[in-house]
């Protein structure tokens, strides 16, 4: 007797864990840069975050779901842990990371039913929860070890800009804005993993090559941010900064390449993804330029996440549906 | 120009995958398989009504004797592939997995019906009228040999309202492992071209296009050369992509036209016929030989000597495996047809039928299913679906029994190519549920029409 089942009888053998491990590999350059600039505390925060996320997922799976097929093996909790760490300053106290992990995995992911069922990006929920609950700790950024003595805190480029504009200065009067090359390589203040645009782009290209993501979401998020802020820049360059500054600062790169592209919380069709990405770009810029917070990409992604079920109503173009063509 | 000869970018536009090729037997010429001692010839080797038996137990039949008469509009004749005595007429499980009536013949000698021309001489003259050709095709019981086994004479008599203007020959063979069409094309190029001309005559179409994927450069080169002697047969090399051998995909690749949802290829003026069917047409018309044998690829990763055999219909699949070194120990599945769309068999004692293009012994490593887990919404199933459907959604609707939602999401457009299940990283049983959904929805639609 042989096994009988319906076709197809072969499979690509590319499982969920391969996708997840590819994302983990793609996050490595950003981790290395954060260790270079922020020292071992960056590594400590990341490991702690990954560890607590994995443990929490394991416990919920075992004691609440009472299941034995442990989804922890797929590596998605590791990614959530890394992204959560990448979104906090390297100086946060360790217990905050654990609270963030509980919120990210426990509330944002497992309460919806685990991998694939969550509506919002778990790492961002964890981050925003911490930001709202502990605004002081979450907005004190250690200046990196190349510029100053360790332990001295300084603002991020976006915070500098926001404070300057709020106090009525024009762009040229704001002191201390970093050079573009420093922003590109990561020699600026900010959350752990978001400082170096270069490291994130390397990781992003790896994901593209491995076909884990398509170019649509990251490129369109960045382009729409550039265009939206570019229009204001052209209208009044004294009030609004060069759009390039926006692309290289804050969480723009990390958000566009790693957070917005999260499979479970982004639309299924290319059309939906385009609308989703434009929405993220525009909302981010609206918050950055007109909102109270200096940075808005976390909120932008979460807001668009909420629209994903609606965007999934958009169907792909069917074969035989269009009678045009030659 | 030279570059274009080596590489083709022509293909269908939506979705598609590139499974590993495993064409292990692609350099093997066709070997004529010995006449078996015993055959089981199913009377239901085609889509439609089963043929009704015209012989009874104890009758002596020759090679080519009609043993089953067409029993409906969509039906086909069945002929004996051997000479010998009808031992019994019984129900057997055939490669479709269903019980079918089969005529079992104990073989004695190899005596052919006298009107069959058994010489190898290629008859190229096209003297018969269209009606006469069609009659001969009907008499010979020719069915589509790509796997769907639709009776050819029905396909070749489209309704008066639809006038075909191009004949498409499907020589894509996009399934992994299978090489039966390729080996047939290399051995019988001229005969196939005559067969194509005959079908053109029946349909009264001037143009014929042969779509061949670029992984068969030998067949493309040979056909380009042979086709020069024939009017209006164009050879079109196509990019390698599964499921290009799907009728609708092939039409789009060749004509850049899409068949509207729920309609037949004739609605865009095309008739699609498999290359092996064209060869059967040649034999039926020029040689008076009914469809009693076909090329079967016998292969598998662990098979010592994968081969292409010319096999009498009704030969046991087990005998074919014995000839290539036996069924390997670690075989998990025996598949009739390709690994993407073929059927898994319960055992290997089943007979070869008109639609059996290959039999494959697939080991556990290739055939096992991973445990399925949550959908991670990676959207790969959407991006590979050649019909532009949303497999993940259809699967959920089918699982929940939401047949209205299935229907309004065009579940009936699914061609069951299996690309979605193939790529799904969570190994979800997408096609299994979609198939169930299709079944239920067509049932619902039929009931609605009856009211």
Interacting residues of A277 by C-beta distance below 8 A, sequence separation 6+? A216, A217, A218, A219, A220, A221, A224, A260
pLDDT exceeds 90 at position B39: yes
Query: Is A95 in the same domain as A173?
Result: no
Model confidence band, residue B148 (pLDDT cutoffs 50, 70, 90): confident
pLDDT exceeds 90 at position B140: yes
Q: What is the model's pLDDT at position B160?
A: 80
| DSSP one-letter string for B327-362 | --TTEEEEEES-TTT-EEES-S-PBP-TT--EEEEE
Chain A positions in Cβ-Cβ contact with residue B426 (cut-off 8 Å): 15-16, 116
Query: Is A181 in the same domain as A108?
Result: no
Measured between CB atoms, which of A3, A6, A114 is closest to B431? Answer: A6
Task: Judge whether A278 and A260 are in contact, CB under 8 Å.
Answer: no
Instruction: Please tell me the distance in Å from B62's CA to the nearest CA on chain A.
Output: 34
pLDDT exceeds 80 at position B378: yes
**Chain B interface mutation, best of A10, A13, A68, A269, highest count of B Cβ atoms under 10 Å:** A10
Query: Is A165 in the same domain as A66?
Result: no
Q: What is the model's pLDDT at position A32?
A: 94
- Domain tally, chain A: 2
From the DSSP assignment, how many helices (H) and strands (E) are in chain A?
14, 2
A241: its two tokens: 């900064």
In the numeric block, the tokens 């969550």 are attached to A118
Structural domain that includes position A109: 16-137
Model confidence band, residue A137 (pLDDT cutoffs 50, 70, 90): confident
Mean per-residue pLDDT for A115-127?
94
Instruction: Please tell me the distance in Å from B373's CA to the nearest CA on chain A.
Output: 9
Q: Say if B119 is an interface residue toward chain A (CB within 8 Å).
A: no
Mean per-residue pLDDT for B42-68?
95
pLDDT exceeds 60 at position B23: yes
In the numeric block, the tokens 């690309």 are attached to B419
pLDDT exceeds 60 at position A149: no
The torsion angles phi and psi of B138, rounded to 5 degrees, stand at -60, -45
Tens of pLDDT, residue by residue over A263-303, are 999 999 999 999 999 999 999 999 999 988 888 999 999 99
Is A203 inside any structural domain?
Answer: no
Neighbours of A310 (CB within 10 A): 11
Model confidence band, residue A228 (pLDDT cutoffs 50, 70, 90): very high
Query: Is A32 in the same domain as A72?
Result: yes
* Alpha-carbon distance values, B395 to A96, A104, B298, B360 (Å): 41, 29, 33, 28
Over its C-alpha atoms, chain A yields an Rg (Å, rounded) of 21
Measured between CB atoms, which of B260, B376, B388 is closest to A16? Answer: B376
Is A116 inside any structural domain?
Answer: yes
Q: Is the bond leading into B184 cis (omega within 30 degrees of zero)?
A: no
Percentage of chain B with pLDDT > 90?
88
Task: Judge whether B104 and B38 are in contact, CB under 8 Å.
Answer: yes
Q: Are A319 and B392 a contacting pair at CB < 8 A?
A: no
Mean per-residue pLDDT for B391-398?
96
Chain A positions in Cβ-Cβ contact with residue B424 (cut-off 8 Å): 11
Q: Are B425 and A268 a contacting pair at CB < 8 A?
A: no
According to DSSP, the β-strands at B166-171 and B207-213 are parallel
B272: its two tokens: 């699609």
SS3 state at A322: coil
Chain B positions in Cβ-Cβ contact with residue A5 (cut-off 8 Å): 333, 344, 369, 432
Chain A interface residues facing chain B, Cβ-Cβ under 8 Å?
A: 1-16, 18-19, 69, 71, 74, 76, 113-117, 263-266, 268-269, 315-323, 325-326
B296: its two tokens: 């079967």
Residues of each domain in chain B carrying CATH 3.40.50.11540: 1-32+123-368
Query: Is A219 in the same domain as A299?
Result: yes
Query: Is A273 in the same domain as A177?
Result: yes
Query: Is A132 in the same domain as A227?
Result: no
Query: Is A188 in the same domain as A225?
Result: yes
Q: Are A116 and B14 a contacting pair at CB < 8 A?
A: no
Q: Are B362 and A315 a contacting pair at CB < 8 A?
A: no
Query: Is A129 in the same domain as A226?
Result: no
SS3 state at B30: strand
Chain A positions in Cβ-Cβ contact with residue B347 (cut-off 8 Å): 1-2
Which of A137, A152, A179 finishes a domain?
Answer: A137
SS3 state at A321: coil
Task: Judge whether B336 and B316 are in contact, CB under 8 Å.
Answer: no
In the numeric block, the tokens 């069709």 are attached to A269
Interacting residues of B210 by C-beta distance below 8 A, sequence separation 6+? B169, B171, B196, B223, B227, B233, B234, B235, B236, B275
Measured between CB atoms, which of B257, B339, B348 is closest to A10? Answer: B339
Model confidence band, residue B127 (pLDDT cutoffs 50, 70, 90): confident
Model confidence band, residue A94 (pLDDT cutoffs 50, 70, 90): very high
Model confidence band, residue A325 (pLDDT cutoffs 50, 70, 90): very low
Q: What is the model's pLDDT at position A70?
A: 65
Q: What is the model's pLDDT at position A326?
A: 38
Instruction: Please tell me the distance in Å from B174's CA to the nearest CA on chain A.
Output: 14
How far is B236 from B86, CA to CA, in rounded Å?
46
∠ Cα A272 B414 A305 (to 5°)? 20
Q: What is the model's pLDDT at position A144?
A: 60
Query: Is A40 in the same domain as A181?
Result: no
Measured between CB atoms, which of A8, A265, A268 is closest to B379? Answer: A268
Q: What is the model's pLDDT at position B303?
A: 92
Mean per-residue pLDDT for B420-439?
96
Architecture of domain B1-32+123-368 in CATH? Answer: 3-Layer(aba) Sandwich (3.40)
* Alpha-carbon distance values, B388 to A23, A168, B15, B220, B419 (Å): 27, 54, 7, 30, 12
Using CA coordinates, name the residue in chain B closest to A11.
B422
- Strands of the sheet containing B38-42, edge to edge, are B38-42, B99-107, B84-93, B60-61
Q: At A105, which helix (H) or strand (E)?
A: none
Model confidence band, residue B2 (pLDDT cutoffs 50, 70, 90): very low
Model confidence band, residue B126 (pLDDT cutoffs 50, 70, 90): confident
Chain A positions in Cβ-Cβ contact with residue B331 (cut-off 8 Å): 2
How far is B164 from B200, CA to CA, in rounded Å?
10
Measured between CB atoms, which of B259, B416, B422 is closest to A12? Answer: B422
Is A291 inside any structural domain?
Answer: yes
Query: Is A93 in the same domain as A25?
Result: yes
Size of interface A-B (CB pairs under 8 A): 164
Please report how many Cα atoms fall inside a 13 Å half-sphere around the Cα of residue B113, on the Cβ side. 18
Which of A105, A137, A169 finishes a domain?
Answer: A137
Average pLDDT, chain A: 90
B292: its two tokens: 């009693």
The torsion angles phi and psi of B232, rounded to 5 degrees, stand at 60, 25
pLDDT exceeds 80 at position A261: yes
Q: Say if B300 is an interface residue toward chain A (CB within 8 Å).
A: no
Q: Are B431 and A8 a contacting pair at CB < 8 A?
A: yes
How far is A215 from A271, CA to CA, in rounded Å?
13
Q: Which of B438, B374, B381, B366 is nearest to B407 (CA)?
A: B438
Model confidence band, residue A199 (pLDDT cutoffs 50, 70, 90): very high
Q: At B79, which helix (H) or strand (E)?
A: strand B78-79
Mean per-residue pLDDT for A115-128?
94
Which of A97, A121, A137 finishes a domain?
Answer: A137
Chain B positions in Cβ-Cβ contact with residue A316 (cut-off 8 Å): 382, 385, 388-390
Percentage of chain A with pLDDT > 70?
94
Start-to-end Cα distance in chain A:
52
Tens of pLDDT, residue by residue over B275-305, are 999 999 999 999 999 999 999 999 999 999 9
Task: Judge whether A128 and A299 are in contact, CB under 8 Å.
Answer: yes
SS3 state at B99: strand
Q: Say if B340 is an interface residue toward chain A (CB within 8 Å).
A: yes
Q: Are B333 and A3 a contacting pair at CB < 8 A?
A: yes
Q: What is the model's pLDDT at position B152?
A: 95
How far is B446 from A18, CA to CA, in rounded Å?
44
Q: What is the model's pLDDT at position B52?
A: 94
Q: What is the model's pLDDT at position B4?
A: 46
Model confidence band, residue A260 (pLDDT cutoffs 50, 70, 90): very high
Task: Judge whether A38 and A145 are in contact, CB under 8 Å.
Answer: yes
Q: CA A289, A294, A295, A296: dihedral to nearest 10 degrees?
A: -50
Q: Are B340 and A69 a contacting pair at CB < 8 A?
A: no
Using CA coordinates, name the residue in chain B closest to A317.
B388
Q: Which of A128, A92, A16, A105 is nearest to A52 (CA)?
A: A105
What count of residues does chain A have?
326
Q: Are B413 and A69 a contacting pair at CB < 8 A?
A: no
Mean per-residue pLDDT for B341-354?
94
Over its C-alpha atoms, chain B yields an Rg (Å, rounded) of 22
Chain A positions in Cβ-Cβ contact with residue B377 (cut-off 8 Å): 116, 263-266, 268
| DSSP one-letter string for A217-250 | HHHHHHHHHHHHHHHHHHH-TTTS--HHHHHHST
How far is B74 from B49, CA to CA, in rounded Å?
6
Task: Judge whether A90 and A192 are in contact, CB under 8 Å.
Answer: yes
Least confident window among A145-154, A222-231, B313-322: A145-154
pLDDT exceeds 50 at position B187: yes
How far is B105 from B310, CA to CA, in rounded Å?
19
Burial class (CB in 10 A: 0-12, 13-18, 19+), B401: exposed
In the numeric block, the tokens 């900064």 are attached to A241
Query: Is A272 in the same domain as A226?
Result: yes
The torsion angles phi and psi of B273, rounded to 5 degrees, stand at -130, 135
How far is B203 from A250, CA to CA, in rounded Å?
68
Interacting residues of B425 by C-beta distance below 8 A, sequence separation 6+? A14, A15, A16, A18, A19, B376, B378, B380
């Amino acid at each position: 007797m042989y096994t009988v089942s319906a076709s197809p009888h072969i499979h690509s053998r590319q499982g969920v864990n391969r996708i997840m491990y590819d994302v983990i590999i793609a996050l490595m350059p950003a981790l290395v840069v954060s260790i270079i600039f922020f020292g071992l505390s960056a590594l400590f925060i990341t490991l702690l975050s990954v560890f607590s996320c994995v443990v929490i997922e394991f416990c919920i799976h075992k004691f609440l779901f009472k299941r034995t097929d442990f989804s922890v093996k797929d590596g998605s909790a590791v990614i959530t842990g890394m992204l959560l760490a990448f979104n906090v300053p390297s100086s946060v106290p360790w217990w905050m990371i654990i609270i963030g992990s509980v919120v990210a995995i426990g509330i944002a992911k497992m309460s919806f039913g685990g991998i694939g069922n969550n509506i919002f990006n778990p790492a961002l929920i964890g981050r925003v929860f911490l930001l709202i609950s502990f605004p002081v700790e979450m907005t004190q950024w250690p200046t990196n070890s190349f510029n100053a003595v360790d332990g001295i805190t300084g603002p991020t480029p976006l915070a500098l800009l926001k404070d300057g504009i709020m106090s009525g200065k024009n762009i040229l009067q704001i002191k201390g804005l970093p050079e573009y090359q420093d922003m590109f390589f990561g020699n600026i203040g900010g959350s752990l993993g978001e400082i170096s645009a270069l490291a994130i782009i390397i990781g992003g290209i790896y994901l593209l090559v491995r076909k884990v993501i398509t170019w649509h979401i990251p490129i369109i998020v960045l382009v729409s941010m550039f265009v939206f802020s570019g229009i204001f820049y052209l209208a009044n360059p004294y009030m609004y900064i060069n759009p390039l500054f926006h692309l290289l600062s804050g969480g723009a790169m990390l958000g566009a390449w790693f957070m917005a592209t999260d499979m479970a919380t982004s639309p299924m069709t290319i059309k939906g993804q385009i609308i989703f990405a434009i929405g993220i770009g525009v909302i981010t810029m609206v918050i950055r330029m007109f909102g109270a917070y200096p940075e808005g990409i976390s909120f932008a992604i979460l807001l668009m996440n909420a629209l994903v079920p609606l965007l999934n109503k958009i169907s792909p173009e069917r074969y035989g549906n269009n009678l045009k063509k030659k | 120009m030279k570059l274009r000869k080596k590489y083709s970018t022509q293909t269908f536009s939506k979705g598609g995958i590139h499974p590993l090729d495993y064409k292990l037997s692609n350099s093997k010429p066709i070997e004529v398989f010995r006449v078996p001692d015993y055959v089981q010839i199913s009377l239901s080797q085609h889509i439609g009504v089963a043929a009704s038996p015209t012989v009874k137990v104890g009758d002596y039949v020759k090679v080519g004797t009609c043993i089953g008469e067409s029993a409906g509009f969509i039906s086909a004749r069945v002929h004996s592939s051997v000479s010998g005595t009808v031992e019994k007429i019984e129900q057997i499980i055939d490669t479709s997995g269903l019980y079918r009536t089969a005529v079992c013949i104990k073989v004695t000698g190899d005596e052919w019906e006298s009107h069959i021309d058994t010489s190898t001489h290629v008859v190229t003259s096209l003297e018969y009228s269209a009606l006469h050709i069609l009659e001969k095709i009907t008499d010979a019981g020719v069915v589509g040999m790509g796997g769907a086994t639709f009776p050819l004479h029905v396909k070749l008599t489209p309704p008066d309202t639809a006038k075909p203007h191009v004949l498409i020959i499907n020589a894509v063979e996009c399934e992994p492992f299978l090489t039966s069409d390729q080996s047939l094309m290399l051995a019988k190029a001229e005969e196939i071209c005559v067969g194509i001309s005959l079908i053109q005559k029946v349909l009264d179409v001037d143009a014929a296009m042969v779509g061949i994927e670029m992984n068969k450069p030998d067949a493309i080169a040979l056909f380009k050369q042979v086709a020069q002697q024939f009017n209006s047969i164009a050879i079109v090399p196509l990019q390698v992509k599964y499921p290009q051998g799907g009728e609708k995909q092939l039409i789009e690749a060749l004509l850049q036209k899409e068949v509207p949802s729920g309609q037949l290829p004739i609605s865009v003026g095309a008739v699609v016929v498999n290359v092996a069917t064209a060869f059967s047409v040649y034999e039926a018309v020029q040689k008076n030989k009914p469809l009693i044998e076909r090329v079967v690829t016998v292969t598998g990763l662990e098979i010592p000597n994968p081969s292409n055999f010319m096999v009498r219909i009704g030969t046991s699949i087990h005998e074919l495996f014995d000839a290539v070194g036996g069924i390997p120990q670690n075989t998990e599945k025996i598949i009739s047809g390709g690994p993407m769309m073929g059927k898994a068999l319960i055992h290997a004692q089943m007979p070869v039928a008109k639609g059996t293009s290959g039999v494959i012994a697939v080991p556990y490593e290739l055939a096992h299913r991973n445990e399925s887990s949550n959908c991670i919404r990676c959207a790969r199933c959407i991006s590979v679906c050649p019909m532009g459907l949303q497999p993940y959604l259809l699967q959920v609707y089918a699982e929940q029994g939401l047949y209205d939602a299935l229907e309004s999401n065009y579940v009936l457009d699914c061609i069951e190519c299996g690309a979605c299940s193939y790529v799904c990283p969570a190994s979800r049983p997408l096609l299994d549920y979609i198939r169930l959904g299709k079944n239920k929805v067509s049932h619902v639609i039929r009931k609605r029409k009856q009211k």
